[in-house]
Structure formats: structure tokens, C-alpha cells
Chains A and B, each alone.
With several copies, the nearest count.
Chain A
Amino acid sequence: MRYLPLTDSDRSAMLDVIGAPNVDALFSDVPEIARLDGPIRDLPMHASEMAVEKHMRGLSKKNLAAADAAFFLGAGAYRHHVPASVDTIIQRGEFLTAYTPYQPEIAQGTLQMLFEFQSQVARLYGCVVANASMYDGSTACWEAVAMAGRVTKRSKAVLSGALHPHYTEVVKTMAKFTGDTIAAAQPSIQADPDNAGLISRIDADTSCVVVQYPDILGRLPDLEEIAAAAHAVGALLIAVNTEPVALGAIKSPGELGADIVVGEGQALGVGLQFGGPYLGLFAVRDKKHVRQMPGRLCGETVDADGRRGFVLTLSTREQHIRREKATSNICTNSGLCALAFTVHMTLLGEKGLRQLAAENHRLACIAAEKLAAVPGVTVLNHSFFNEFTILVDGDARQIVRDLAEDNILAGVSLARLYPDVEEFTRGLLVAVTETTSEEDIETLCAALKEKLS
């Protein structure tokens, strides 16, 4: 067994020291009923690295990788080019095989990186403090709702209809158990976000209003208006962002008045990975809310010799200290994904992020224009960043499946996200990033033209 260093003679020598006749004796506490007499059946025996690699490669090849297709999927997970040096750094054993930095004297690498990460996220979101990351955007969204409840001592959350349906579902699921009231709605299929409708649902019991920006249909709601309405009744505005690259082109949620900003950070550094692991981002605009935040926080301090150093701090909020009185049961962050995000963001810098955002938007505008010219296709959005909704004359879901056979991954059909809503059948979300070539756009348009004619 290539991962097991003990030799049989080591084992005997160790048993001698222990004073046990054999290894079975060490398992003497296991009751008869649970003792197995050999390896568990129905499972294969050990295999060489070569054999395992071959097996896994076989499974890998049964998938259509995005690089081998004209690719237009988004809906909360975006494909961007990740510089090769990002992966080199996250594969350094010192980062990859480190533990949570509870012993800060020998974990300054992870800690300083987290401090840089928190600072980057806070600035990107227009906030003052960000935590050291959550599981992903959807769970961060729920944690924000729960936090708003703690801050406002109210228990009704008003969710925009244009919040990612998986996020809505996660919030509703968790709220079932905590007893919070979740006022959710379906998205309205219209060119502009329905701010008025959302604002009309806010009342004096509302703890928070949750708005996605850009929203699930790719539209850009004016958060300022919603923030004013929320603040007027003492509620918090929670802004949700699933595409951090957008913030290189559009105003930050914090600037626009959001109190808590959460989101998915996968777009930078992490990659698609079939949905996980991803990277939950969580930040607050007002320092006074820090002690109600969930998750790990890294803070600056000094060591006994006066040198700057970093530690995990304010852990009195956390489960390993406060147990049942913690702000969340979360015990993990998404450390390695946070590292990937931070390295990618450092390579970009403000200049690169703005260039990247501009390039995404430029290509998306081209795609929207060309798609609008395809007979049978209507572009819904008035505003968008790198993703927008089109309506097709037909069942978008079936069209997506058909085009996939020609290696065109045309987008995410609204019916995939909302299987029960008849009126969404024609809707298709189309995302365009810097990895999309103009040739890919032509390919999609040509295929739709043929399909819809």
C-alpha cells in the first residue's frame, strides 16, 4: 500500500511495546455484532496508481468539457480563464496540506493570505469587513438572512423574485427549521427588475430584503432605491452577487447602500468544477455588525517581539468556543479556494479586473446584438453585464439538449431552474465571458437560426 509506511516488522515491534498480541486486540472494545471478519464485501481491492488513474480518466472522458464546446452557461457559475500560476501556488504543499491556522506562529502564510483576501473582498463589495469565506454563495446568503435576524431581532426576510432559485431554496429550507418567515416570489419575465413590486412587500416586520445584483435574469437592479426603502423601516439590505467580475464594471453594492453583501467567488481562481467546491463571500458595510458575523475572521496583531502578525480572531462568535450560542455552526471556510481567488485577484489588480470586466461586457453586447438578429429570438434585458435572458420560439430546454449534441452548450434554460413554471419554458440564460470567442457566438447564432426556422 503506497500510502502506508509501516512494514510488518514495524507493526510487530510496535505491538510488543503496546503489549498486545495482535492488531485485533486493539479493537477489543468493538462488540461482536459489529466485527467484520475481513475486508468489506462488494468493494474492489486496492489498485495501482496507473489503474486508478485510468479508471478516473475513463469517467472524465464521459463528460463534455467546456473547452471542447461553444459554451454559454452561467446562472451562478462562470467560466473564466485562470492564470496557470494560480494553480501552481495552491498546489504548494505548505498551502495545500496545512490545517486551519489555529497555531498562528507556524501558519502566517495562510493567515496573511486570508487578511489579504478579506481586504480584497471588502473593497470589491464596497464594505469595511469581510470574513475569511463561507462554503459558497448560497449558504452565505442564508447566513446573511440569519444574521439580519440577529441584528434586527425580526424574523421576516423579503426575497427578490430574481434571486437565484437555488439560493431561495436554501434560505427557505433553513428557515423551515429556525421558524423565520421567508417572503419569496418568482421572477417577473420583464426587461427591467421589478423594484416596485419588491419594495411593496417590505413592512415593519421585515428583517432584511435580499436582492441579487446582477439578478438571475442578468438585469441590473438599482439597489439604492431598495436600500432606501429597507432602511426606512429599519430593515437591512442584503445584496447577493454571483459574478464578482461584474464589480469591475458596475458600482459596488456597498456604495449603493447594501448592509450585508454576500456572493459566490468561484468566478475568480476557482473554476467550474461541476458546482463545487466554491467560495462564499461575506462582508458588512458597517463595523458595528462585525460581532454578529458568521465564520472565521483573520485579524492583525503583533507577536511577542513586536513584529506584525495575523491570527484568527473574534472567535467568541464561533461554535468551538460558544458551542450552542455561536453565531453559526460553520466550522470550515473555503481556504484553498480563497487562496485561489486572492492570487487571481492579485494578478488582475484593479486595472486587470476592469479590463476583464470590460472585455466580458463587450463580448456580451456583441452576443446580444447578434442573437437579437436571429429570427425567433428576443433579447429580454434592457441592462446586463455578461449574462442576459433570451426568449425563443420553442421549448428552450429541448433546444439546449439538442444543441449539446453538436457541442454547443447554449446556456441555462429557465425551465431547468424553475421546473414547475410553465411560462418560463421559452427562457434561456446566455452568459458570455472572455473565454467566449466571436466564433463561438456565430456558432450559437447559426445553430439557433437553423433550429428555430
Chain B
Amino acid sequence: LEEKLIFEIGTPDTTGVDLPEVDDSAPNKLGGMRRDAEIGLPGLSEPETVRHYTRLSRQNYGIDLGFFPLGSCTMKHNPRLNEKVARMPGFADVHPLQPVDTVQGALGVINELAHWLITLTGMHGVAMSPKAGAHGELCGILCIRAALEARGDARKVVLVPESAHGTNPATAAFAGYAVEDIPANSDGRVDLEALKARLGPDVAAVMITNPNTCGLFEPDLREISDAVHAAGGFVYCDGANFNAIVGRVRPGDLGVDAMHINLHKTFSTPHGGGGPGSGPVVLSEALSPFGPLPFTARTDDGVIHLVEEETASEFGHTKAFGRMTAFHGQMGMYTRALTYMLSHGADGLKQVSEDAVLNANYILRSMEDVLHAPYAHSGPCMHEALFGDKGFAEGLSTIDLAKGLIDEGYHPMTMYFPLVVHGAMLVEPTETESKATIDQFITAFRSVAERAKAGDELLKTAPHYAPRSRLDETLAARKPVLAYVDPE
């Protein structure tokens, strides 16, 4: 199962393409910058290339291979129709700066997707261009800052629940804010009274996740929003968990001012081993004027328009806080997400959240007698079930259970997140898993949990049946080897 590196099997003289030989004597217009030195890039013939990467792929786990119960990550089935559509020449083979008359269909996709996003969330506008969820968070916070600055209000603090995703405080800090924690109550939800007590003229925004990272709906969000608005601040909602409520609950109805939507979580664009993502941000009426270009907004006649630099004044979108990226954003993800939305429709998306929540509660109730479920008493969970490592034998922790699950043929759940639960295990089944799959997973999960409680030492060295045993992450960080170095 060890596959060499391309640097070990390829040579700079080998190539898997057929191009004309270089004529070094040809005149050039390179202005004296012509490269002489070797670059050191190995090449492989096409058969070698295909085999190398095919073999490498087989050391990966993916949704296509099995259940992927990663909490907060919504690893659902990626329909292949989406891939087919994204490759249609009219989407894949068009340049972002073609004359707009030649890309009406592409702009139509953006507008149609914007319509879906705005309608599903009950919001007013949407900034389409953010490249990923964290980029969207930044966009949302910058909208808030721009709105505050526009009214001459220099608030300095953003409140973030302690269970928030790491991107939330990082984003707020990046945007120049001081970050303060909001505690959770014993139910695993935001402590409403503590929050209200902290509100004041220095608080620019509250960043909240709903459903929250404990997998629970925040029933007080409307009341929180009202309080934040009354105190002159804005409410940012982390949309990572939108899959739990899509089609059933509109965040706009809860007073949210800005929310990013991970198209790769809720709307089935593939994770691709870590990206690309796409994080459009829906905005309330108060924030919409500040959204960056390009921006999509509904005009009074109900039509949705894409606004770029040159048309900003035409559409009255003159307060845009700037531009977050070159070009129009993640077109390839838009086509996939829109394809998915059209496939499901409003009725299907409602079924999506219902089945996702049903699957999660089924796991919660099937596991709570063997694993500590800290908020099981708080009522139904949403789309993910949270467990802790209380009761494990001495010396065994969540990571050992996780690696044990690998040996059972599963990708582990999310580990040690959220931070508010000791040895947290966050399990999100999504709606695209069958009952049979979940039943098998529960059997395996229970078995490994029992072993963790019984102190099975074999777990400490798991996985035993994976392409690699546990990797030395400390060594990797202590003596970083980040690029291939030719042997002497």
C-alpha cells in the first residue's frame, strides 16, 4: 500500500502530453527573463499518472465508500447529476470577463440560486462571491462593520458562544474586533440572561450558530435577536448547521441579519478532500446595502439582479464595502447547488431536514445507554447527536474510540468539538443514509464504546486495518518536512 512520490518515479524528461519540441533558437519577447535553470518538476506518462493517482485514491475514505458521521460537516451524498451539469460547456468553458451578452445563462444560474437562497432563508439579499464558509463569515462581519461605520458607530466587541466554530472568533478578530465568550447553560444552549446582561453600546454583533454546535436548536434566538437589535447590534448566524432546518425554518423569521451558507454542506457540492467550498451570505434588509460586489438583490418587482462594479450605481448599490475576491465567486459550485435544489424542490428540502433530524435522534436514543449524552435530557436534538467520554476506562479517550471506528469500517465522528463537552463526539448522520446503514453503525459504535469503557488496550493502537497505523503528528510539527527534497 505504499505508493512512491512522483518525485521518486518521474523524471523531468518524461511527459504525458504530446507537444512540439522546444526550439531554443526561436526569437522571443521575454525581455531577458527567459528561464535557464531547471525547475525540477518530474513528469510521468499518462498510464503511470492514471495508475499513481488511482492507487493513491484507494488510500482515501469517502462518502461513496461508507458512512461519514462527521458532526458539523454534513457529509451527504454528492449526486452525480451535479457533476454532469457543472461540466456542461456553457458553464465550464466560459470566461468570467466575457461580454455579459454571451453569458446570460451563467448569470441566470447565479440569479436563480440567489432566489433560492433568499427564499429558503427568508432574507433580503445575498452576497454570492465568498469562496467558503469562513470567507462568508468574514463577509457577514464586514457587512456589519460597514453598516456600523456608515452610522458612525465604532463598536469594538463581538460576542461568541464558547461552543462556536473556531472560525467565528478568528473571523471577528481578523475584522478587527475584540472577541468575548458567551457561556452556555446546562441545557447546552446560550445563556440568555448572561447574553442580555453583556449587551451594550460596545457590542457590534453576536455570532451564534443555530442549531448550535451541541446539535440543539436555540429556541430563544428570536428573543436574542430582538435584544441585540434593541442594543444597536447585529446578529450573525453561522449557517454550518442549516441542513437541520432547511425547508422547515427560515432564519430570517428569527431576526438574523447575516448568515453564510455552506453550499458543500447543505446543498451537496462535494467536499473534495478539503475544498473548494462556497459560502454565499444572505443578508437582512439593514445589511444588504453594504454587501460586497458582485451582489445579488431582489428589486421591487420581485426580480433578482446581479450587481457588479459597473452597474452598482444603476441598482443603487453604492454602499458596498468592497470586493472579497476576483471575478464572481464559485460558479462551479453554484451550478451543482442549484441542480441539487431543483432536484429536491421545496418539498424535498423539507424532507431533507426531517430525515436528517430523524436519523440523528435515532442515533442519540440508540446510544444514550452506553455513551454519556450530556444534553440528552434537553429534548430532541437536531441533525447531530453529541456524546462525551465520561465513563471511559483510565487512559482511553475519544481519539481511541474514533480510531477504533476506523477498524470497523467507518470514518470517525467529529472529535473534541464542541469544546464545552469533555471528549466530545459529535455524530451527524445526514438524510442520505439508510436505516440499515445507521443500524449497522450503531452496532459498531456501541461495540467500540463498550470496549472503551472496558479498557480494551487494543484501542490505544487502533487503527489496525487502515492503510496506515497512527501517524506521528508531533514529529511532523517538530521537524516539518513540507516539500520533497531530492536525495543527495
Contacts and interface: CB of A to CB of B under 8 A. Distances in A.
A341 interface: no
A34 B91 contact: no
Nearest to A113: B56
A173 B323 CA distance: 6
B174 A105 contact: no
A23 B169 contact: no
A290 B481 CA distance: 11
A109 B484 CA distance: 16
Interface in A9-46: 10-11, 13-15, 17-20, 23, 25-31, 33-36, 38-46
Given A62-B108, A352-B19, A321 B47 contact: no
Contacts of B29: 361, 364-365, 368, 381-384
A332 interface: yes
Contact of A365 (B27, B83, B327): B27
Interface stretch (A79-87, A153-161, A228-236): A79-87
A97 B93 CA distance: 24
A351 B30 contact: no
Given A34-B254, A331-B133, A44 B483 contact: no
Given A34-B249, A351-B12, 17 more contacts: A1-B351, A7-B13, A29-B380, A49-B343, A53-B85, A68-B89, A109-B273, A112-B56, A115-B5, A129-B483, A220-B30, A276-B327, A276-B333, A277-B131, A297-B482, A300-B481, A331-B134
A447 B440 CA distance: 58
Interface string B50-90: 10111011111111110010100101111111011111111
A425 interface: no
A2 B402 CA distance: 31
B44 A109 contact: no
A273 B328 CA distance: 10
Interface residues of A, number: 213
Interface stretch (A133-141, A196-204, A438-446): A133-141
B289 interface: no
A56 interface: yes
A324 B247 CA distance: 33
A354 interface: yes
A99 B66 CA distance: 12
Nearest to A315: B477
Nearest to A89: B53
Given A251-B33, A274-B91, A355 B15 contact: yes
A188 interface: no
Contact of B75 (A99, A130, A173, A302): A99
B361 A20 contact: yes
Contacts of A62: 90, 104-105, 108
Interface in B315-364: 321-333, 335, 338-339, 341-352, 354-355, 357-359, 361-362, 364
B355 A6 contact: yes
A350 B38 contact: yes
Given A31-B219, A63-B91, A296-B274, A166 B326 contact: yes
Nearest to B82: A84
A391 B251 CA distance: 51
B455 interface: no
A116 interface: yes
Interface string A299-343: 111111101111101111011111111101111111111010001
A452 interface: no
Contacts of B303: none
A110 interface: yes
B199 to A, nearest CB: 20
A453 interface: no
Residue among B10, B29, B116 with the most chain A CB within 10 A? B29
Residue among A43, A87, A133 with the most chain B CB within 10 A? A43
B179 interface: yes
A65 B90 contact: yes
A150 interface: no
Given A40-B250, A119-B484, A56 B335 contact: yes
A115 B273 CA distance: 13
Given A36-B249, A93-B65, A319 B167 contact: yes
Contact of B467 (A4, A66, A67, A108): A108
A79 B95 contact: yes
Interface in B86-113: 86-99, 101-106, 108-109, 112
Contacts, number: 763
B406 interface: yes
Interface stretch (B228-236, B386-394, B446-454, B468-476): B468-476
B447 to A, nearest CB: 18
Contact of A33 (B109, B222, B435): B222
Contacts of A307: 2, 468-469
A75 interface: yes
Contacts of A278: 326-327
Contacts of A167: 326
Contact of B275 (A94, A113, A334): A334
A91 B219 CA distance: 41
B50 to A, nearest CB: 5
Contact of A3 (B31, B45, B138): B45
Interface in A340-368: 343, 345-356, 358-359, 361-362, 364-365, 368
Contacts of B13: 7, 349-351
A421 interface: no
A357 B468 CA distance: 39
Contact of A110 (B7, B46, B60): B60
Residue among A40, A41, A304, A343 with the most chain B CB within 10 A? A40
Contacts of A65: 89-90, 93-94
A416 interface: yes
A47 B102 CA distance: 28
15 contacts: A27-B380, A47-B342, A79-B95, A95-B62, A97-B271, A108-B56, A178-B175, A251-B34, A273-B91, A326-B173, A336-B272, A350-B39, A351-B43, A361-B29, A361-B30
Interface string A162-184: 00101101101110111100000
A186 to B, nearest CB: 15
* Nearest 10 interchain pairs by C-beta: A349-B43, A383-B31, A173-B322, A93-B64, A275-B327, A62-B105, A336-B272, A60-B90, A275-B96, A277-B276
Contacts of A135: 131-132, 135, 275-276, 325
B466 interface: yes
Contacts of B105: 58-63
B194 interface: no
Given A3-B77, A99-B73, A129-B483, A404 B102 contact: yes
Nearest to B98: A409
Given A116-B7, A129-B483, A355-B20, A349 B15 contact: yes
Residue among B15, B36, B44, B326 with the most chain A CB within 10 A? B326
A174 B85 CA distance: 34
A34 B325 contact: no
B145 interface: yes
Nearest to B362: A14
A101 interface: yes
B33 A383 contact: yes
A122 interface: yes
B222 A276 contact: no
Nearest to B22: A358
A245 to B, nearest CB: 12
B11 A349 contact: yes
B320 to A, nearest CB: 9
B422 interface: no
Nearest to A141: B326
Contact of B482 (A18, A219, A290, A339): A290
Contacts of B131: 135-136, 139, 276-277, 332
